[in-house]
């Protein structure tokens, strides 16, 4: 099938060929006409000349009298180069004396011969035989006309150039122009319409030609209508008509995508199955319209309570699925679920009646509780029935172990809140001791929780929960403030002034207000910052490098020092020691435990030497024996912490320890 472009090209080629054919025919005709004019001209010249001679010449000896006539005829006609009168092969008279003998190829002139361009160009000498009378005897003579071939060629060439310039080139230009016009106003718009027909998103600009524009606008309207209907159909096929939430089809689609994403990033997500409690009873007592109203309300509540990227779908009459993929930890997840349940359980006005609605949620996790939609739904459904069984308006995790662990963590979080409120935290202090002198040269503050029931809870059991729940921020603030205030108090009360080290968690350090709070605290309490040491872990160096570097520099600018805690346990690069302004490097307990092996000793010595080379002091942690201390002395490790000197002590005991130490020194 022909394209419009090819069709036009063929049409143009045919038209141009036909026109050029006409031009060529006309051109050849004109050339032949010219040839005939030239031939007639030669014919007339030869006949007139020969007639003049034949009527005037009485004696052949007087032929020279006609020299003037011949010269004139040859000179007047630029197409003639010479005229010659010959008798047989003897030249009697010539206008060109360079012609001494007759050429071999002579065209004998007759009136009835076909004359064309080639005839004129091929025959350069024309001959006409005529008679003269010498007395009453006829003598046969020949008049030879030598054509001026270059002039004749130019004469024909003029026509050629004129045709080329005035016919061929203008015609070509006109056709090219027409072709461009048609291309612009017909071919390209048609091509755009064709593309528009295939790809509806490529809407062409309004077209110049009315009919094409009508087609374009009609297509546009049709496609817009189709598109809106398609979208509506697509939406209705994927959306629950009542709640306008995604339906089961869309849920599965998005779930498949999320499963693929989770596989790739190795990140779990939570699959929640929510069922409205006593929904049948509501339907039976208040009617199905009220039931529908509750479904709509619950859907709205969930949309408001959750984030835009959380998936909420209606999969049954009163059944919903929620997929939560972005949560920091299980505690946060727990909070989200509780928030949803709390909002649902608030009093609702349905059919002008105030009723209490609640829901139960079963929680399953991908991939632990199921690797596809069906398995996840089954697990979450089981968990949901467990929640119903346990009294409704609550959530339940699919695995009992997790259920219990989360319960513990949630309770712990609640207790931490109370602990902060009830001032149940207490600082313990562990001295930093000089390896050489055994003098106390500093203090590390360590938090302890005096649980009213459980007794003293070590930080390992609650710091993680505090970090997950965000309680680490107020707790960290309390520790910092308590440490500084106590230090000031000791100074005033006991004249004890030792650098105090405070551990700052990564979360606390990353907080945008951390430095401002620290600076405010130091300034408000008028605490000499050079007696404050901030202990951070390697993880601080690895996250938000530039921001943390700026914070560290500001802390140093304040006058405080920086200690890098638990050195060697993380994945820190040696380059960090060069980049970050670290004052003290604390060798982790795990290295000291292995000090008596050859490789362990080399490791510790290497760390100490490297730190010294970088102008960083070194403190060894968890030193418990004299042998360990002696080793540290050997490798010039400045200080240590550990049970060899003292375990972390409550304030009173620590003050006694310091006093004794000071008295011993004295």
Partner 1 sequence: MLKIKLILIATFFLLSSCSSQQPSTPIKLTTNSWIGYSPLFYANEKGWLKKANIKIFPLVSLGENMMTFKMGGFDGLTGTQFEYQKVNSQNHNLVPAIMFNRSNGGDMVLSNRSVKALETTKETVDVYLESYSVNTLVFNAFVKSHNLSHKHFNFINKDQLKIVTLIKQKTIQKPTIVVTYIPYNLEIVKHGFNVIDSTKDNPNIMVLDALYVDKNVLNQRHQDFVTLKKLVNKAINNLNENPKEYYEVVKSYIENPSYEDFNKSLKAIKWLNDELSDELLQKMNEINFQTRKLI
- Name the residue nearer to partner 1 (CB basis): 50 or 252: 50
301 burial (CB, 10 Å; 0-12 / 13-18 / 19+) is buried
Contacts 24+ apart (CB under 8 A), 22-28: 23/163, 23/167, 23/168, 23/171, 27/159, 27/160, 27/163, 28/117
- Name the residue nearer to partner 1 (CB basis): 58 or 162: 58
| Whole-angstrom distance, CA of residue 470 vs CA of residue 321 | 28
Using alpha carbons only, how large is the chain's radius of gyration in Å? 56
Cis before 367 (ω within 30)? yes
By the criterion CB under 8 A, which residues form the site for partner 1? 40, 43-44, 47-48, 51, 54-58, 110-112, 129, 131, 133, 135-136, 138
- Least Å distance between CB 221 and partner 1? 27
- Name the residue nearer to partner 1 (CB basis): 57 or 480: 57
- Least Å distance between CB 217 and partner 1? 24
Question: Is 498 within 8 Å of 525 (Cβ atoms)?
Answer: no
- Least Å distance between CB 187 and partner 1? 23
- Least Å distance between CB 47 and partner 1? 4
DSSP state of 531: G
- Name the residue nearer to partner 1 (CB basis): 129 or 461: 129
Mark residue 131 as left, alpha or beta (left: phi above 0; alpha: psi -120 to 50; beta: remaining): beta
- Least Å distance between CB 33 and partner 1? 14
| Whole-angstrom distance, CA of residue 545 vs CA of residue 549 | 6
- Name the residue nearer to partner 1 (CB basis): 44 or 218: 44
- Least Å distance between CB 233 and partner 1? 42
- Least Å distance between CB 206 and partner 1? 27
H or E, element range at 610? helix 598-613
Q: How far from each other are the two terminal CA atoms of the chain, in whole angstroms? A: 111
- Name the residue nearer to partner 1 (CB basis): 15 or 573: 15
- Name the residue nearer to partner 1 (CB basis): 60 or 408: 60
Structure-derived torsion over alpha carbons of residues 443, 448, 450, 455, reported in degrees to the nearest 10: -110
Among residues 526, 525, 584, 588, which one has the least CA distance to residue 556?
584
- Name the residue nearer to partner 1 (CB basis): 57 or 560: 57
- Name the residue nearer to partner 1 (CB basis): 51 or 164: 51
- Least Å distance between CB 178 and partner 1? 19
DSSP code per residue over 40-99: HHHHHHHHHHHHHHHHH-S-GGGGGGGHHHHHHHHHH-TTEEEEEEEETTEEEEES-TT-
| Whole-angstrom distance, CA of residue 91 vs CA of residue 154 | 30
- Least Å distance between CB 182 and partner 1? 19
The answer for residues whose C-beta is within 8 angstroms of residue 655's C-beta and 6 or more apart is 490, 494, 496
């Amino acid at each position: 099938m022909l394209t419009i472009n090819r069709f036009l090209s063929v049409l143009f080629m045919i038209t141009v060929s036909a026109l050029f054919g006409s031009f060529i025919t006309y051109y050849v005709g004109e050339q032949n006409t010219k040839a005939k004019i030239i031939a007639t001209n030669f014919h007339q010249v030869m006949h007139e000349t020969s007639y003049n001679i034949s009527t005037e010449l009485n004696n052949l000896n007087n032929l020279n009298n006609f020299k003037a006539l011949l010269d004139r005829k040859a000179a007047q006609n630029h197409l003639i180069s010479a005229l010659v009168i010959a008798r047989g092969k003897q030249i009697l008279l010539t206008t060109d004396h360079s012609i001494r003998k007759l050429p071999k190829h002579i065209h004998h002139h007759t009136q009835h011969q076909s004359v064309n361009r080639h005839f004129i160009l091929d025959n350069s000498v024309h001959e006409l035989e005529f008679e003269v009378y010498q007395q009453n005897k006829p003598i046969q003579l020949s008049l030879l006309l030598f054509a001026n071939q270059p002039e004749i060629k130019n004469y024909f060439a003029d026509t050629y150039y004129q045709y080329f310039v005035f016919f061929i080139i203008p015609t070509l230009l006109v056709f090219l122009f027409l072709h461009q016009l048609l291309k612009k106003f017909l071919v390209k718009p048609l091509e755009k319409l064709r593309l528009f027909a295939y790809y509806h998103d490529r809407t062409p600009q309004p077209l110049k030609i009315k009919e094409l524009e009508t087609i374009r606008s009609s297509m546009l309207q049709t496609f817009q209508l189709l598109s809106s209907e398609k979208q509506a159909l697509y939406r209705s096929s994927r959306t629950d008509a009542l709640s306008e939430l995604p339906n089961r089809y869309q849920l599965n689609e998005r779930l498949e995508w999320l499963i693929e994403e989770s596989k790739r990033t190795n990140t779990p997500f939570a699959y929640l199955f929510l069922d409205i409690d006593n929904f049948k009873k509501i339907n039976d007592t208040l009617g199905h319209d009220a039931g529908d109203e509750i479904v709509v309300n619950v859907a709205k509540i969930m949309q408001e309570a959750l984030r835009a990227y959380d998936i909420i779908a209606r999969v049954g009459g009163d059944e919903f699925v929620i997929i939560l993929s972005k949560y920091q930890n299980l505690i946060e997840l727990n909070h989200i679920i509780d928030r949803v349940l709390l909002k649902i359980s608030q009093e609702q006005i349905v059919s002008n009646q105030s009723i209490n609605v609640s829901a139960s949620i079963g929680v399953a996790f991908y991939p632990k509780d199921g690797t596809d939609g069906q398995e996840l739904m089954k697990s979450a459904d089981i968990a949901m029935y467990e929640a119903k069984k346990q009294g409704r308006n609550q959530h339940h995790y699919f695995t009992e172990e997790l259920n219990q662990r989360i319960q513990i963590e949630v309770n712990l979080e609640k207790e931490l809140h109370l602990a902060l409120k009830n001032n149940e935290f207490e600082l313990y202090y562990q001295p930093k001791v000089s390896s050489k002198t055994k003098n106390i040269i500093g203090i590390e503050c360590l938090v302890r929780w005096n649980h009213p029931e459980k007794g003293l809870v070590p930080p390992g059991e609650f710091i993680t929960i505090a970090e997950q729940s965000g309680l680490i921020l107020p707790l960290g603030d309390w520790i910092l403030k308590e440490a500084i205030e106590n230090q000031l108090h000791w100074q005033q009360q006991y004249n004890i002034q030792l650098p105090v080290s405070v551990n700052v968690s990564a979360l606390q350090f990353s907080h945008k207000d951390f430095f401002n709070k620290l600076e405010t605290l130091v300034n408000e309490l008028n605490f000499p910052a050079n007696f404050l040491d901030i202990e951070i872990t390697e993880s601080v160096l690895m996250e938000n490098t530039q921001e943390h570097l700026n914070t560290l520099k500001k802390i140093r600018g304040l006058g405080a020092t920086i200690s890098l805690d638990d050195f060697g346990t993380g994945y820190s690069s040696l380059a960090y020691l060069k980049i970050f302004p670290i004052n003290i490097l604390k060798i982790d307990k795990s290295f000291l435990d292995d000090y008596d092996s050859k490789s362990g000793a080399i490791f510790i010595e290497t760390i100490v030497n490297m730190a010294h080379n970088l102008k960083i002091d070194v403190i060894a942690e968890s030193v418990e024996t004299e042998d360990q201390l002696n080793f540290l002395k050997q490798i010039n490790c400045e200080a240590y912490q550990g049970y060899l000197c003292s375990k972390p002590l409550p304030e009173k005991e620590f003050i006694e320890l310091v006093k004794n130490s000071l008295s011993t020194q004295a």
